[in-house]
Amino acid sequence: MHIHLINPNSTASMTAQVLESAMRVANPTTRVTAVNPLDTPVSIEGGTDEAMAVPSMLSEIVKGEAQGVDAYVIACFDDPGLHAAREIARGPVVGICQAAVQVAMTISRRFTVITTLPRSIPIIEDLVSAYGADRHCRNVRAIDLPVLGVDSDPAEAERLLTIQIHKAKLEDRAEAIVLGCAGMSALCERLSIATGLTVIDGVTAAVKLAEALVGAGYATSKVNAYDFPRIKTPSPAKIVEQALIR
């Protein structure tokens, strides 16, 4: 089984950390690889960054299809381009937000998401609602540290996350915590031990879900919504334009 992680941003150190987290939980027989495009934003912090990252991310999936990849993990908590990715992939495509939310709903009645910047809160709230978990998610909190800050100063990220986890436990009555950034994955176990709450990392959740789906023989449905994109015949104007370019 080959699971391919795609970090939609262009920060290689974050990709390496995500791969390390994934390999820590993957079955010995699972081949896990990771990649990031080189021409995308260095971090994804809002709708514009998402839009700029999606085309190159989809190109990586096209490459993976040619290589026989069995499943993909989109390693960004905004789940950018998830539906588009499922249209071009034969196997399952798992977003780390959706995976983490599903795990949280399975092992707890109430959970809180803790992300990086306050501007990400409404994006995550909308995703949680879209995944049918808004009644279970008690709050979405932010440590007010940029994504690259989590990558460059994990000790400070851990300190800020610990504070917010304790607040979530007391104020939100959260029974589990979801880490709202792929760059936080290396801190998951330490935070669980330090706070006494189950802390869920979307990267590891997505990898295990991908393994389960492939192992059970489930592929992406190609009936209607997730069918492969239709091949469009160029319009007469486009044909003329291409001829003039030549």
Residue 232's pLDDT is what?
79
CA-CA-CA-CA torsion sign (40, 45, 49, 53):
positive
Strand order of the sheet with strand 198-201?
137-142, 111-115, 176-179, 198-201
Closest CA to 50 of 95, 8, 11, 96: 8
Alpha helices in 118-169 (DSSP H): 121-130, 147-152, 154-167
Q: Supply the Cα-derived Rg of the chain in whole angstroms.
A: 19
Which domains can be identified in the chain, with CATH numbers? 2-96+204-226 (3.40.50.12500), 97-201 (3.40.50.12500)
pLDDT in tens, 141-177: 999 999 989 988 999 999 999 999 999 999 999 999 9
> Encoding tokens for residue 29?
């027989």
pLDDT > 90 fraction of the chain, expressed in percent and rounded: 91
Residue 215's pLDDT is what?
97
Which residue in this structure is represented by tokens 């449905």? 221
Residue 244's pLDDT is what?
44
Task: Please compute the mean of the pLDDT values over residues 183-188 and round it to a whole number.
Answer: 92
